Amino acid sequence: MYLVLVYDIKLDVQGAKVLRNVFKICKKYLTHIQNSVFEGELSDGQLLKLKIEIQKYLRQDIDSCIIFKGRNNIWMQKEFITDEDDKTSQFL
């Protein structure tokens, strides 16, 4: 299955650590395409593992994370409205 994951982490005292960990986990499973946006093809099992791992860090009441899932990416066209050069270098 193809999916797009978008998160918004509240950058309070704990936020930087949450962001670092969530980013690292997402990069393990998906392709980072924009600051808080990842995409990729995952099996059900991989998606379940990803969710379990990130939920250890995400704070349910103040952080946001949404996954858009589809059978495959044929349905979906991706259009960059701004330059596409790598703005994903926020983290090494």
Annotated binding site: 8
Between residues 19 and 36, which has the closer beta carbon with respect to a second copy?
36
Q: Using CA atoms, how far apart are residues 6 and 38, in angstroms rounded to an integer?
A: 7
Residue closer to a second copy (CB basis): 13 or 18? 18
Torsion angle of C-alpha atoms 8, 11, 17, 18, degrees rounded to 10: -30
Using the rule CB under 8 A, give the single segment among 12-20, 23-31, 78-86 that binds a second copy.
Answer: 78-86
What is the distance between the alpha carbons of residues 46 and 4, in angstroms, rounded to a whole number? 14
Contact string 31-70 vs a second copy (x = CB under 8 A): --xxxxx-------------x--xx--xxxxxxxxxxxxx
Report the residue from 20, 27, 56, 78 that binds a second copy according to the rule CB under 8 A.
Answer: 78
Strands 64-70 and 37-41: unpaired
Q: By CB neighbour count within 10 A (0-12 exposed, 13-18 middle, 19+ buried), where does 16 fall?
A: exposed
Residues in contact with a second copy by CB under 8 A are 4, 6-8, 33-37, 51, 54-55, 58-71, 75-83, 85, 87
